[in-house]
Structure 1
Amino acid sequence: MLRRIRKDAGLSGESLATALSVSQSHLSRVELGDTAAGLELVGRWVQECGAGTDDRAAATELAESVTVEFTTWRSAMASGLPAIQREIAAAEAAAATRCAWVPMLIPGLLQTASYTHELITGKYPDREDVAEAVAARMQRQTILYERGKTLRWVIGEAGLRWQVATPDVMAAQLDRLAMLAAEPHLDIRVLPFINTGPVWHDHGFMIRGDRDDGQPDLVNVELLTGPANITEPSEVAEYRRAYERLAELALRGQDAVAFIRQLMVELR
């Protein structure tokens, strides 16, 4: 939304960044959803762009919702890591369609327990509820076999190569991924480095659609300190186009399986 408001005003990213006294890179991260925009910045943004009443109200509401999301995330962290996994499971259950671009890791629903354990302990080495959180994430994976769900992933080659665990754990993880990629009811694709083209791929994201709670489709972006959700229809549509372009470039089916198996041989 903020990018559209800037473009409607005929301002370049550089000129708006100068007017707002922020770096152009910061402004770009805000527009892409990599960095949350606070209410104060959003207020100056819409004023500088001369946004109309409707856009001002919508942008302010969006900034307020992001603030609430981060507050809710902090509250969930206080409740424990398993509680976060249960909240994610509820959100997944409420969406009939799900597609995700995951450039740097194996997606959570496709992880082995050992891989998940290494990830969580790496980020939260002093937590005492890691084992329960791992179990909760594994429980989420029952959705893989539910009828009526459309589940799609594009995983970057870097996500397969990133050594987040011991060689044995990585081998088991890639083996599981290869088996799941062969399942006809799952759309699991792999994007090799050599297949990349002039397509946007800067950060990972997940799109949830056809939600049974009547809420609009949303894009979820995981930031270092918590999640950010995008529901502006025009921006969700941009992410959908980006996903489909990535999916076109990626390997699927037996080609994806063969790529994963070959990588397992290389990493031995």
Structure 2
Amino acid sequence: MSTDYQQARAALGIRLRELRLSRPGGRLTGQQLAQRLDWPGSKVSKLENGRQTATPADLRSWADATEQPGAYAELAARLAGFESHIRSWRRALANGFKPLHEGLSAEIDRTSQMWIWEESVVPGLLQTPDYARHVIQRYSELLGGARDIEDAVRSRARRQEWLYRPGRKLHVLIWEAALRSLICPPSVLVSQLDRLTGVIGMDTVELGIVPFTASVKIVPANGFWVLDDRLVVAEDWHAELWLDDSDNVALYTKVWKTLRGSAVHGAEAHNVINAARRALNTP
């Protein structure tokens, strides 16, 4: 998380502590407040010290338990201001691609399971270096500023070591459009499709393809990653969004499961990939 995000969460924690200490009926200790709310004592400490993001229900309960229900509107407004953490691409890329990649890699390193949906590009964890180079180059041309493309390619390649660590599992869904999009030369895409074919059957990867011909229950758009049950990373043209509130994590998980209902796996996924490869008319 960025410094801005951490500071906002810490500021909310300070305000929560003020409410606990200024209770009209007398200040409460953290343990007394936890007992009133039937919470673990550690939860009060984590919220006050900015180590956990409160939910709206947490804030309502806190305001009521400290006998200051009128404070809820202020608390909720504070939460709404930072529960969707937006990382502007232009600002983030001011220091190059490498720090941007390393920030996400740190989150991935402490993740056991990921659920990924990509509608127009092969996910980074499954990209070949040549394919990754072309994708990163396109973003550099669009957004400007970053020239450390080779560092970014190497960083993305190192991130893929996650797939070979014990206890990891990648659940990935790709729309067929990503298999056919010529963001790179046809020869590079052929190698990338061969790479996808190779991961089918890996113990650590569940690969699903949503064919063009599949009936879908939701618009297949907006790529995103769900890391364990704690964080969503979603991309837009102007920014990357990091969402760690439980409601958004649950929503994106529901979207992923809905899309999975339209996906094919195993031999059927292999057939869709091979059809895209044949359409390239390369050896």
- The question of a shared fold, defined as TM-score above 0.5 by the shorter chain, is answered with yes
For residue 88 of structure 1, what is the aligned residue in structure 2? 104
| Alpha-carbon distance in structure 1 between the residues aligned to 2:121 and 2:192 | 11
For residue 139 of structure 2, what is the aligned residue in structure 1? 123
* Contiguous gaps of at least 5 residues in structure 2: 1-69
| Alpha-carbon distance in structure 1 between the residues aligned to 2:81 and 2:280 | 44
Match of 1:111 among 123, 127, 147: 127
For residue 174 of structure 2, what is the aligned residue in structure 1? 155
Cα offset, 1:167, TM superposition: 0.8
- Checking the alignment, whether the CA contact within 8 Å between 1:181 and 1:189 is kept in structure 2 is no
Paired residue secondary structure (1:124):
helix
Cα offset, 1:169, TM superposition: 0.4
For residue 70 of structure 1, what is the aligned residue in structure 2? 87
Cα offset, 1:205, TM superposition: 1.4
| Alpha-carbon distance in structure 2 between the residues aligned to 1:95 and 1:130 | 26
Q: How many residues align?
A: 209
Once the two structures are superposed, residues 170-202 of structure 1 have per-residue CA deviations (whole angstroms, 9 ceiling, x without a partner) of: 101111111112323311110001113222433
Match of 2:211 among 170, 189, 192: 192
Cα offset, 1:89, TM superposition: 0.8
- Checking the alignment, whether the CA contact within 8 Å between 1:182 and 1:257 is kept in structure 2 is no
Once the two structures are superposed, residues 4-59 of structure 1 have per-residue CA deviations (whole angstroms, 9 ceiling, x without a partner) of: xxxxxxxxxxxxxxxxxxxxxxxxxxxxxxxxxxxxxxxxxxxxxxxx86466345
Q: Does 1:208 align with 2:227?
A: yes
Cα offset, 1:98, TM superposition: 0.7
Cα offset, 1:114, TM superposition: 0.7
| Alpha-carbon distance in structure 1 between the residues aligned to 2:78 and 2:241 | 15
- Checking the alignment, whether the CA contact within 8 Å between 1:154 and 1:190 is kept in structure 2 is yes
Root-mean-square deviation (CA, aligned residues, Å) is 2.2
1:85 partner amino acid = H
- Checking the alignment, whether the CA contact within 8 Å between 1:179 and 1:257 is kept in structure 2 is no
- Checking the alignment, whether the CA contact within 8 Å between 1:102 and 1:155 is kept in structure 2 is yes
| Alpha-carbon distance in structure 1 between the residues aligned to 2:90 and 2:182 | 29
Q: Does 1:252 align with 2:268?
A: no
Match of 2:190 among 162, 165, 171: 171
Of all paired residues, the percent bearing the same amino acid is 27
Divergent runs of 4+, >6 A: none
Alignment of 1:129-144 (within 5 A): 129-144=148-163
Match of 1:100 among 95, 112, 116: 116
| Alpha-carbon distance in structure 1 between the residues aligned to 2:77 and 2:245 | 10
| Alpha-carbon distance in structure 1 between the residues aligned to 2:265 and 2:77 | 38
Cα offset, 1:106, TM superposition: 0.4
